[in-house]
């Protein structure tokens, strides 16, 4: 970060090191210094050689999305039963017209800055909706950073909010806010922190419980798009904390596999807790999906794991030549399962997509093995033409892969208990695919980011099936091996190496899928495996790019697609950037795209993590259609050291929800000497904010 403190050494780190615009502290706590370890993908699968493709035909029917509020559920998506263009247009009103002609975003962009505050455009306002430690269960004590306790944290809002989803309740002035708590930063959480080696058992227990997911009832406040939290005593019907001790059930073909069995769970069917939940999604049947990402960092003792397990540990970023990886939180002293020497399979029980039913606080959350195991950023669902659930997913690691899952059964419409039970089972059985891309201009890619002579970074692609139901389609691997060690399966089928796929999300207005490829500073570096390709056209890629994927026939279940890069991020003055051909003098600088979302008009919203342009991270919006396609504008910036997460644009487009993650995460900062004092002026505290237009109008238009 630009704060002077970011350039000082963090005493407990070995060396002053950071990647892109991230502080060393973020690298350590978020990913366990993943970027400083060897790239886990050591496979030599290559990308296809040049394959000429004709121009990409946009054959989309531009069908809208039908959102129907049914008892306790939200339905959103495209399906045979629900695809009613006329009804959708009627529902969405002006939004459908706007997307057809290409919508513009009416706000004046927020300039890049390094302020320790939230900055929104003129005519907008914002407020903190909920903070780390705020009571969400009845009886939870008020937050006091000097009197933290495990039992309190288990009833309070967790740390480092990331994914944000909002599910309408039947009373339309109320909704459920669902939020992931990705990771803890003990240096900023605990007064008097003296390092992980000196951490107390109590601090470790608090950290375990500060991870996970929160479900919180919120209600509208006034006539603008502003919301507030419903007091816990009045929200007991729904409010919930899921954390590192919550029981999860495994589903799918790998449930019960010997690869998932431990001494505490000899069935291999029950996991304890969820960690590093990064992005996520809301399903058309009204549940939340959440991705377990950098789970590797919670484990020690890889050196003592059985030899037979070591290759898989390494492929997932767990060192096998040392007991204590650099970023170790030393949780094995309070819970032996975090020691892989004692419990070599415990790491296999993380790295999944989890599904939570926010409408049923007594339900057991599930880990779906059918969606594979990797560093799941998140999962977002669109329905296929025949109504099957298709989940798009990214494995956020340098040179790792894009995936999708297609359910074997179709979603059912309606609200009865039998329908709900059916839909809740959709992600338990289906086909898992990895993406293999081909290129139109491979010969012209030189690592500089220069646009090829055909005017596009583009090509075709194929979804390669890995598992269908309980049958492995990868030679030499059993079904549970493919699902538990999915990265090996991707290697074997020659999936395409990407620049850290973060959020992958379908635009329900058009069916096109967008992936944030956040960066990859190892791309093309001397001694590294792979140089620039058409989908990763810059070596030492510091700023990332956005991928747009169009399924054949616009059917989410298709096994072929076309793709292009509408945006190659960075300072627009930098020749290697590209904004869909839009006038670069008019776009906002953007670096390290991470989470994506769509507003009801179909505009793409992009949040950033680790801005490598010497300014704070932000939230950006960009039209995808018409003359304004590529006109990226910054909507908001977050405080010093923070990352912009979420985001979530309300169904009525009157509110933008943003998770402000790790404010003040600047090297050498501490609770007592914070680099940020957002939001309350004393110490840094992760929180979710909501933003609205002062006149109550639609955000962005």
Question: Total number of residues binding ligand FEO (CB under 6 A)?
Answer: 6
* Minimum gap (Å) between residue 395 Cβ and ligand FEO: 9
User: Residues near 303 by Cβ (< 8 Å), separated by ≥ 6?
Assistant: 319, 320, 321, 322, 323, 341
Q: Choose between 27 and 169: whose C-beta lies nearer to ligand FEO.
A: 27
213 binds Ca ion (CB under 5 A): no
* 456 near Ca ion (CB under 5 A): yes
List Cα–Cα distances, 10 to 25, 30, 82, in angstroms.
Answer: 8, 16, 54
Q: How far apart are CA 623 and CA 105, in angstroms?
A: 7
CA gap 357, 359 in Å, rounded? 5
The residue among 145, 47, 157, 2 whose CA lies nearest residue 443 is 47
Q: Does 278 bind Ca ion (CB under 5 A)?
A: yes
Interacting residues with Ca ion between 289 and 328 (CB under 5 A): none
Task: Choose among Ca ion, ligand FEO, none what residue 441 binds, the Cβ cut-off being 5 to 8 Å by kind.
Answer: Ca ion
Measure the CA–CA gap between 450 and 430, rounded to whole angstroms.
40
**DSSP symbols for 424-485:** HTGGGSEEEEEEEE--S-GGG--SB-PPPTTSSSEEEEEEEEEEETTEE-STT--HHHHHHS
Task: Identify which of residues 265 and 396 has a Cβ nearer to ligand FEO in the complex.
Answer: 396
Which residues does 670 contact at the CB level (< 8 Å), separation at least 6?
A: 187, 188, 193
Residue 278 vs 687, nearer CB to ligand FEO: 278
Q: Which does 182 bind (CB under 5 to 8 A by kind): ligand FEO, Ca ion, none?
A: ligand FEO
452 binds, among ligand FEO, Ca ion, none (CB under 5 to 8 A by kind): Ca ion
Residue 454 interacts with, from Ca ion, ligand FEO, none (CB under 5-8 Å by kind)? Ca ion
By CB under 6 A, tell whether 400 contacts ligand FEO.
no
Considering beta carbons, is residue 455 or 696 the nearer one to Ca ion? 455
- Looking at the Cβ atoms of 6 and 26, the one nearer to ligand FEO is 26
- Binding flag, residue 644, Ca ion (CB under 5 A): no
SS3 552: helix
Of the pair 227, 605, the CB lying nearest Ca ion is at: 605
Question: Of 666-685, which residues contact Ca ion (CB under 5 A)?
Answer: none
Give min distance, CB of 287 to ligand FEO, in A: 21
Residues of this chain, 146-175, that bind ligand FEO according to CB under 6 A: none
Q: Which is nearer to ligand FEO, 82 or 278 (CB)?
A: 278
Nearer Cβ to ligand FEO (434/699): 434
Q: Does 397 bind Ca ion (CB under 5 A)?
A: no
Query: How many CB atoms lie under 10 A from the CB of residue 111?
Result: 11
Minimal distance in Å, beta carbon 227 to Ca ion?
A: 23
Instruction: Pick one of ligand FEO, Ca ion, none as the site partner of residue 292 (Cβ within 5 to 8 A by kind).
Output: none
594 counts as binding Ca ion under rule CB under 5 A: yes
Residues numbered 409 to 448 that lie near Ca ion (CB under 5 A) are: 440-441
Tell me which of 502, 534, 548, 551 binds ligand FEO, using CB under 6 A. Answer: 502
**For residues 528 and 661, what is the distance between their CA atoms, to the nearest angstrom?**
31
Structure tokens at 532: 């620039």
Pick the binder of ligand FEO from 293, 335, 346, 665 (CB under 6 A). 293
Closer Cβ to Ca ion, 344 or 663, answer by number: 663
Q: Closest separation between CB of residue 128 and ligand FEO, Å?
A: 22
Stretch that binds Ca ion, among 102-110, 591-599, 631-639, 660-668 (CB under 5 A): 591-599
Contacts of 17 (CB under 8 A, 6+ apart): 24, 27, 36
Of 33, 355, 396, 428, the residue at the interface with ligand FEO (CB under 6 A) is 396
454 binds Ca ion (CB under 5 A): yes
Q: Which does 274 bind (CB under 5 to 8 A by kind): Ca ion, ligand FEO, none?
A: none
User: What is each CA distance from 297 to 57, 301, 340, 587, in whole angstroms?
Assistant: 44, 11, 12, 37
CB of 607 to Ca ion, least distance (A): 8
Q: Which of 506, 536, 686, 516 has the alpha carbon at shortest distance from 608?
A: 516
Please select the residue that binds Ca ion; options are 332, 339, 343, 458, rule is CB under 5 A: 458
Alpha-carbon span 414 to 503, nearest angstrom = 29
**Residue 158 neighbours by CB under 8 Å, 6+ apart:** 132, 179, 181, 209, 210, 211, 212, 213, 214, 241, 243
Please measure the distance between the N-terminal and C-terminal CA atoms of the chain and give it in whole angstroms.
Answer: 32
Buried b (16+ CB within 10 A) or exposed e, 17-30: ebbbbbbbbbbbbb
3-state secondary structure of 266: coil
- Closest to 277 measured CA to CA, from 249, 242, 245: 242
Residue 395 found at the interface with ligand FEO (CB under 6 A):
no
Residue 182 is a binding residue for ligand FEO (CB under 6 A): yes
Dihedral sign, Cα of residue 693, residue 698, residue 699, residue 701? negative
Q: Which of 175, 207, 278, 371 touches ligand FEO by CB under 6 A? A: 278
Helix 307-315 with 486-493: angle, nearest 10 deg: 70
Stretch 503-542: interaction string toward ligand FEO, x if CB under 6 A: ----------------------------------------
To ligand FEO, the closest distance from the beta carbon of 186 in angstroms equals: 18
Q: Report the C-alpha gap between 462 and 465 in whole angstroms.
A: 9
* Structure-block tokens of residue 170: 């039947």
User: Would you say how long the chain is, in residues?
Assistant: 701
Please count the CA atoms within 13 angstroms of the CA of 14 that sit on its side-chain side.
Answer: 7
Q: Which does 458 bind (CB under 5 to 8 A by kind): Ca ion, ligand FEO, none?
A: Ca ion
Measured CA to CA, the distance from residue 655 to residue 660 in angstroms comes to 16
For residue 332, the minimal CB distance to ligand FEO (Å) is 23
Q: Could you tell which of Ca ion, ligand FEO, none binds residue 335, using a CB distance below 5 to 8 A set by kind?
A: none
Is there binding between residue 377 and ligand FEO (CB under 6 A)? yes
Residue 440 binding partner per list Ca ion, ligand FEO, none, with a CB distance cut-off of 5 to 8 Å that depends on partner kind: Ca ion
What's the closest the beta carbon of residue 274 comes to ligand FEO, in angstroms?
14
Cis bond upstream, residue 679 (ω within 30): yes
Binding site for Ca ion (CB under 5 A): 278, 440-441, 452, 454, 456, 458, 502, 594
Binding site for ligand FEO (CB under 6 A): 182, 278, 293, 377, 396, 502
């Amino acid at each position: 970060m630009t704060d002077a403190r970011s350039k000082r050494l963090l005493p407990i780190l070995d060396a002053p090191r950071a990647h892109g615009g991230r502080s060393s502290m973020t690298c350590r706590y978020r990913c366990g210094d993943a970027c400083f370890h060897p790239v886990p993908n050591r496979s030599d699968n290559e990308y296809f050689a040049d394959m000429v493709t004709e121009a990409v035909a946009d054959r989309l029917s531009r069908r809208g999305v039908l959102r129907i509020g049914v008892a306790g559920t939200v339905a959103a998506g495209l399906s045979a039963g629900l695809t009613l263009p006329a009804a959708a247009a009627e529902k969405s009103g002006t939004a459908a017209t706007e997307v057809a002609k290409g919508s513009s975003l009416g706000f004046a962009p927020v300039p890049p800055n390094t302020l320790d505050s939230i900055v929104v455009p003129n005519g907008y306002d914002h407020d903190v909706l909920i903070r780390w430690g705020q009571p969400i269960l009845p009886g939870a004590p008020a937050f006091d950073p000097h009197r933290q306790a495990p039992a309190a944290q288990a009833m309070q809002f967790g740390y480092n909010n990331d994914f944000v989803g909002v599910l309408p309740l039947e009373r339309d002035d109320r909704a459920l806010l669902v939020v992931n708590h990705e990771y803890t930063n003990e240096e900023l959480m605990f007064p008097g922190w003296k390092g992980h080696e000196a951490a107390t058992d109590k601090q470790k227990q608090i950290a375990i419980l500060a991870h996970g997911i929160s479900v919180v009832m919120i209600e509208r406040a006034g006539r603008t798009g502003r919301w507030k939290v419903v007091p816990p005593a009045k929200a007991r019907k729904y409010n919930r904390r899921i954390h590192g001790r919550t029981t999860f059930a495994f589903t799918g073909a790998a449930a019960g596999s010997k690869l998932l069995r431990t001494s505490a769970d000899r069935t291999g069917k029950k996991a304890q807790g969820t960690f590093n939940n990064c992005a996520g999604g809301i399903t058309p049947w009204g549940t939340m999906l959440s991705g377990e990402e950098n789970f590797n960092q919670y484990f020690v003792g890889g050196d003592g794991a059985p030899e037979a397990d070591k290759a898989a540990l390494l492929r997932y970023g767990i060192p096998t030549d040392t007991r204590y990886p650099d970023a170790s939180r030393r949780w094995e002293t309070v819970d032996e399962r975090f020691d892989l020497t004692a419990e070599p399979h415990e790491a296999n029980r993380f790295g999944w997509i989890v599904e939570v039913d926010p409408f049923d606080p007594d339900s057991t959350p599930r880990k779906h093995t059918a969606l594979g195991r990797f560093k799941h950023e998140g999962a977002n669902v669109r329905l296929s033409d025949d109504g099957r659930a298709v989940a798009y997913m990214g494995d956020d690691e340098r040179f790792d892969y894009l995936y999708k899952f297609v359910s074997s059964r179709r979603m059912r419409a309606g609200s009865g208990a039998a329908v709900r039970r059916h839909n809740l089972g959709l992600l338990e059985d289906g086909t898992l695919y990895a993406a293999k891309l081909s290129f139109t201009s491979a010969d012209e890619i030189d690592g500089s980011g220069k646009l090829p002579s055909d005017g596009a970074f583009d090509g075709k692609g194929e979804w390669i099936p890995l598992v269908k139901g309980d049958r492995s389609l990868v030679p030499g691997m059993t079904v549970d091996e493919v699902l538990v060690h999915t990265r090996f399966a991707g290697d074997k089928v020659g999936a395409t190496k990407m620049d850290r796929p973060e959020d992958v999300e379908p635009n329900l207005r058009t069916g096109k899928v967008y992936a944030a490829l956040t960066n990859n500073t190892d791309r093309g570096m001397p001694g590294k495996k792979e140089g620039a390709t058409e989908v990763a056209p810059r070596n030492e890629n510091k700023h990332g790019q956005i991928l747009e994927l169009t399924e054949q026939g616009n059917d989410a279940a298709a096994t072929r697609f076309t793709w292009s890069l509408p945006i190659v991020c960075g300072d627009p003055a930098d020749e290697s950037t590209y904004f869909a051909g839009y006038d670069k003098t008019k776009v906002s600088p953007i670096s390290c795209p991470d989470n994506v979302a769509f507003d009801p008009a179909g505009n793409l919203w992009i949040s950033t993590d680790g801005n490598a342009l010497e300014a704070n991270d932000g939230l950006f919006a960009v039209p995808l259609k018409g003359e304004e396609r590529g006109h990226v504008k910054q909507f908001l910036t977050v405080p010093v050291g923070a990352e912009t997460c979420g985001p979530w644009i309300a169904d009525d487009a009157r509110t933008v929800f943003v998770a402000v993650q790790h404010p003040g995460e600047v090297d050498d900062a501490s609770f007592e000497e914070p680099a940020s004092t957002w939001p309350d002026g004393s110490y840094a505290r992760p929180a979710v904010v909501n933003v609205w237009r002062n006149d109550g109008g639609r955000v962005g238009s």
